[in-house]
Amino acid sequence: MQAVVAGAVALFAPDLLNGRWWLVAIAAILAVGWAFLAFRQKEPEQWFPSESVTIRLVAGDLFEQNTSAMVGMTTTFDTEPGIIENKSVQGSLLRVVYDGSQTRLDIALTTALSGIGTVGVITKPGKQDIYPLGTVAVLPGQGTVRYYCVAYTSMDEHNRAKGTIRGILDSLDSVWDAADRHGNGEPICVPLLGQGQSRIPELTAEAAVRLIAFSFLLRTRRGRFSKELRIVVHPNEIGKVDYAEFQAFLRSLVAG
């Protein structure tokens, strides 16, 4: 559109732009903005009529979604900064929800894990009691918000987190079950899994978002527990996911 206007001006009023470089600059800025809006990809979203649920992928902050969310932890539920990366989802939970108070977070986790038996002890810095893989500690947030802290990786003696695709699948199932028990059908947010300190080499970002969506949909078909899955990817990571490919994948899951 801007190119057409510029062409018309050049043809019918060639002297209009003489000495008016700022008009050219404004036109260029408008052209770039128009191109950005035109070519910006729409965030994938799919409605599944048979299950009455929506699956969305959004670029943003997990803790700005104002709804319940999954937070990945290890089987030792370590919380100490230095052991847990400050920029990780768990580090954000500590900073945003618990105002940086490790003591408050530890008390909440201890309360949530009471009654759940441990399966061993590991000698390492930090926490040493080991909980079963897939254990979920449900932490209360504001109103109906819940934080489903799930042990989906394990720590070794050097506090290096290790995970597997099988462990992620089992942990997602545990989170869906916990949301079924503690939620009220509200949306649930899940971050991009297996990409940080717990990196699983064979689990790319593309594979991770598909795995999360497929797991949610399968569990929903056994019993609806949430009206919406929101896969939240940090803006710095969103370039790793092809919107068009993921949208096509979601369409392929719609029951015929």
Distance CA 174, CA 171 (A): 5
Do 130 and 206 belong to one domain?
yes
Number of C-beta neighbours around residue 176 at 10 A? 24
Residues 49 and 9 in one domain: no
**Is residue 122 located within the same domain as residue 32?**
no
Same domain, 50 and 25: no
What CATH number is attached to the domain comprising 75? 3.40.220.10
User: Both 183 and 247 in a single domain?
Assistant: yes
Vertex 108 angle, CA 208 and 58, to 5°: 30
Looking at the fold, whether 56 and 135 belong to one and the same domain comes out as yes
- Per-residue pLDDT 10s for the chain (256 aa) are 554 444 544 455 556 556 665 555 555 565 444 334 333 579 999 999 999 999 999 999 999 999 999 999 999 999 999 999 998 999 999 999 999 999 999 999 999 999 999 999 999 999 999 999 999 999 999 999 999 999 999 999 999 999 999 999 999 999 999 999 999 999 999 999 987 666 687 889 999 999 999 999 999 999 999 999 999 999 999 999 999 999 999 999 997 5
7 and 72 together in one domain: no
Structural domains counted in the chain: 2
Do 57 and 27 fall into the same domain?
A: no
Same structural domain for residues 134 and 7?
A: no
Helix 21-39 vs helix 2-12: crossing angle, to nearest 10: 150
Instruction: Give yes or no: residues 221 and 100 share one domain.
Output: yes
Residues 155 and 180 in one domain: yes
**CB distance 126 to 90 below 8 Å:** no
Please tell me the predicted confidence (pLDDT) of residue 40: 52
Q: Which domain holds residue 199?
A: 42-252
CA distances from 112 to 65, 215, 225 (A): 23, 25, 21
Query: Residue 26: what pLDDT?
Result: 59
Q: Identify the pLDDT of residue 14.
A: 56
* 116 and 27 in a common domain: no
Cβ contact 94:113 at 8 Å: no
